[in-house]
Structure formats: structure tokens, C-alpha cells
Amino acid sequence: MATCTGCSCLCPDIVVQAGVLNACRKGSSIFMHSKDNRAKPMVSGREVDMEVALEKATEMLSSSEKLAIYGMDTIPLEAQEVAIKLAERKEAFIDDNSTFCLGDFVEMVLRGILPSTTLDEAKSNAYVIFYWGTDPFQSLSRHMSLYTYYPRAGKRQRGYEEDRYLVVVDVRRSHTAKLAKKNARFIKVDSDDALVEGFLSTMDGRAGNYYEDTARILKEMQRGRFNVIFGGLGLKYGLKGKYEKFVEMMRKMNELAEVYFIPAGFHANMRGFNELMFEKTGFVNRYSFDTETSRPEYEFSELVRNDAIDTALVIGSDPVNSLPFDVAQKLRKKNLILIDPKLSLTSKIAEVVIPSAITGVDQGGTMVRSDGVRIKIDPLWEAEWSDRKILNELLRGVR
């Protein structure tokens, strides 16, 4: 039984034999194509031995004066710890994808501002399943069938037909919204603030925005007594960074029934990085070990745009593919070290490429699921150079 590391669902029941059983399309392609297009050690575009690449990388790190470490969302906790130590040693900037993903929500959950629970509890007890600004069909395909709406467990033995109430809030009728049929509600919103206001009005006893929907949903929440809201990128960007009203809404809802919040989903171990950083520094991302604080300009894209760094160490991410074009262009002028298992677009402009392993396939470790539960992963086989081993080697040699 293997564990899939395609997203933060971390499905534990994958069987890999002649084909891949039980994984969704995204997860199964990780296993099926694990041997394709693997990276080789390279310096200045030419293939070299691993020791040569490591030596060149150590030299670049040692001579760097303003270093940034970026990525790390798909490697296990044990490797992320070493990367953080490396950033500390060099008094460098450190950032991951959570700055433009759901880092805000994870931070609020870790600080206790939003009450949270685990996916297993949601599976056994939750009545109202509320997807706000997320389309799990696209990004977390098995989320609804493995953890929330469809399974029968605990107090919800009768499954989706009688024991669950689905609510989907989105700007358009997404694929997930199409599943809100009998015992369910789909709310099409133009402004998430308006819906938050609507909930607050109804709880005050006044008819505000969307009053029919909000009254019904609050009644169902009261009836079910244990409910979960899954917030996604639609909610984060819809609220535009101002969360006070949303937090107040959650607090007031908890006077009627237990209503918990779980961030919908992201990269396999993004929350692991946030938790390690929070424990060590009190901040979850875009941190500088030099000024010992976190500021918006320490976001990796901003550092590249403002020429605030001279060297970048990218681990398991593909900024040329996923970050804006002007950032990718500027990245060519920096000294770039890439640690990645595949020959991605970024490997075409990197000065040094160090091949690593794929978590779940040929390296193991501990990963943190979207609800904070730690999952220990045993790989199918062990590669010679895991991320942890590479980072330890760099840490040993850097001055």
C-alpha cells in the first residue's frame, strides 16, 4: 500500500502493481511516469558527476551574500528542517508557495483564530459540508469521496443521501456545484464579503443578502451540530486579505453549533513547512533570518523583482513555469541552484541542477495533510540521493 503525494489529501490506499489502483488521474500519473524525464547533475548546461555539482553548489552558496531559499512544498519534514537550518546559517530569506496560496488560513488555524478539526472527524461526524471558493473536483479529486460528502462512517452511516448537507459557494456553476442536488445548496456569489455580511445579518435576526440561503444553511448547521467549512483560494482572494468579518462570522456561528474550518488543499507538504516555520520563528512564510521578521517584500517574487538577492536555491518547485513572466525573466540573471527530480523548465536556466527523489516513490519521510495530521510515508524503493541527504551535504560544506 503506497501513499500518494499529489496533493494534500495524501490518500493512503494506493496499490501499485502492474498498474496503479485507487489513485485519481493526477496521483496515478506521478507513479506511472516516475521514471520519465529524470534530471541529471548539471553545471552550466553540461552533464557532470554528482560530486562536482554538489561542490559547485556549495561554492555558490558560500560566496553568496544575499541568498533566498524557495520551494520545499513537496519534500518531507525531515528535509525541510535541513533547508531551514541552511537558511539560518546563511542569514538568508526563506519562502514557499503558501504566500500566494493558503498560507493566511493555515496561519490563522495555527494561531487558534479559526477553530479547526481533522478530516477523519469530519468523515465521522460532519453534517454540513461547506465548500467556499474551492472546486475539489479539479484540484483535490478524491476529497469528496474519501473524506467528506460520500463516505459512510461514525455518526453518518446513511451517507450523502440522508446524513450530509452539501453547500457550494462559487462565482460560477463549477463541476463541484453540479453535485449539489437534493440535500444541498449552491450559492452563486459575485462578492464573498456580501455573503459574509449576509450570514452576520441573519444571525442578528435581520434579512440581509442571500437571506433565504443563509437562513436555511444556519438551520441545517444547528440541526447537524458538527459542521466543517473548507476554504479555498476563491475565498482568500475574494476577501482580499481582510479577514476580520469572516473570523467574526465563524465565532458567531460557533454559538449555534460546532463549526470548524479546514483549508481546502494545496501541495502535499505545504502545511508541514508552515508548521515548522511557525514553531521556530512565529511566522509561517516569507521570512528573513537576517532581520528576523516577515514582511510582504520578502515574498520570493518580490525579492527577484527588486533585485534584493544574488543567489537563489530552488527546491522542488518550478518558478519559470508557475511564477509571472517578469519574475522568470529576472531569474535568468541570478545565480540559480535547482534541486528537482525532473528536468523542468527552470532546469533550462539554472546554473547548477542537482537531481533528487520523488516523495512517495523513491524517498520517504513525514508529510503533513491539509488538516494537520502527520502521515509517515514508506517509499516504493530508496533512491541514492534523497532531498535530505543533498541538503545535509550542502549544509556540511557551506561557510
Partner 1 sequence: MPITPMEVYKLLPKTNCKKCGEQTCMSFAFKLINREKKLEDCIPLFEEKKYAIQLKELQKLLEPLKEATETGLIVDEQLCVGCGNCVVVCPVHAADDPKGMGSGFGPTIDDPILRMEDGVVKVIEMMKCRRYGKNRVLCVACRENCPTDAIRFLEG
The rounded distance, in Å, linking the Cα atoms of 317 and 339 is 8
Is position 171 an interface residue for partner 1 (rule: CB under 8 A)? Answer: no
Contact between residue 378 and residue 88 where contact means Cβ atoms under 8 Å apart: no
262 part of the interface to partner 1, by CB under 8 A: no
- Shortest Å, Cβ 161 to partner 1: 9
The answer to whether 8 contacts partner 1 (rule: CB under 8 A) is no
Q: Are 195 and 169 in contact (CB under 8 A)?
A: yes
Q: Which is nearer to partner 1, 174 or 317 (CB)?
A: 174
The span from the CA of 272 to the CA of 275, in Å, is 5
- Nearest CA to 278 out of 113, 135, 106, 121 is that of 106
Q: Which stretch binds partner 1 (CB under 8 A): 141-149, 316-324, 363-371, 376-384?
A: 141-149
**In whole angstroms, how close is the CB of 38 to partner 1 at the nearest point?**
21
Q: What number of chain residues touch partner 1 (CB under 8 A)?
A: 35
Nearer Cβ to partner 1, position 202 or 370?
Answer: 370
Span from 175-183, 209-217, 250-258, 358-366 in contact with partner 1 (CB under 8 A): 175-183
Shortest distance (Å) from residue 370 CB to partner 1: 16
Selected range binding partner 1 among 96-104, 172-180, 191-199, 340-348, rule: CB under 8 A: 172-180
Which residues are CB-neighbours of 52 under 8 A, at least 6 positions away? Answer: 41, 43
Reduced to 3 states (helix: H, G, I; strand: E, B; else coil), residue 284 is: coil
Lookup: cell for 350: 539554472
Closest distance of CB 165 from partner 1, Å: 15
DSSP reduced 3-state for 108: helix
Position 194 contacts partner 1 (CB under 8 A): no
Q: Is 173 in the site for partner 1 (CB under 8 A)?
A: no
Place of cell 453549533: 257
Does residue number 153 form part of the binding site for partner 1 (CB under 8 A)? yes
Assess contact for 64 and 335: CB atoms under 8 A: yes
Return the residue of 3, 8, 74, 176 that touches partner 1, per CB under 8 A.
176
Smallest distance from the beta carbon of 86 to partner 1, in angstroms?
A: 36
CB nearer partner 1, residue 36 or residue 279: 36
Torsional class of 372: left (φ above 0), alpha (ψ -120 to 50), beta (otherwise): left
Considering only 40, 111, 155, 175, the residue that binds partner 1 (CB under 8 A) is: 175
Tell which one of 111, 152, 251, 348 touches partner 1 (CB under 8 A).
152
Task: State which of residues 155, 173, 178, 348 lies at the interface with partner 1 (CB under 8 A).
Answer: 178
- Please list, in sequence order, all residues whose beta carbon lies within 8 angstroms of the beta carbon of residue 359, skipping any fewer than 6 positions away: 5, 74, 75, 76, 268, 269, 365, 367, 377, 379, 387
Q: Give whichever of 106 and 166 is closer to partner 1, judged by the CB atom.
A: 166
The beta-carbon contacts of 15-18 under 8 Å, at least 24 apart in sequence, are 16/380
* Contact call for residues 301 and 324 (beta carbons, < 8 A): yes
Among 150, 258, 305, 318, binds partner 1 (CB under 8 A): 150
Contacts of 377 (CB under 8 A, 6+ apart): 3, 5, 10, 76, 359, 360, 364, 365, 366, 367
CA dist 300 → 37, 310, 315 (Å): 27, 12, 13
Of 73, 75, 74, 94, nearest to 84 (Cα)?
Answer: 94
For residue 301, the surrounding DSSP H or E stretch is helix 300-305
Q: Which of 70, 105, 130, 160 binds partner 1 (CB under 8 A)?
A: 160
The answer to whether residue 118 forms part of the interface with partner 1 (CB under 8 A) is no
* Minimum distance, C-beta of residue 10 to partner 1, in the bound complex (Å): 13
3 part of the interface to partner 1, by CB under 8 A: no
Q: How far is the CB of 320 from partner 1 (least distance, A)?
A: 27
Contacts to partner 1 from residues 11-40, by CB under 8 A? 13-15, 19-29, 32
Of 137 and 278, nearer to partner 1 (C-beta) is 137
Query: Quick check: 121 binds partner 1 (CB under 8 A)?
Result: no
The reply to whether 145 sits near partner 1 by the rule CB under 8 A is yes
Contacts of 326 by beta carbon, 8 Å cutoff, 6+ apart = 305
Note the residues at the interface with partner 1 (CB under 8 A): 13-15, 19-29, 32, 123, 137-138, 141-142, 144-147, 150-153, 159-160, 175-176, 178-179, 181
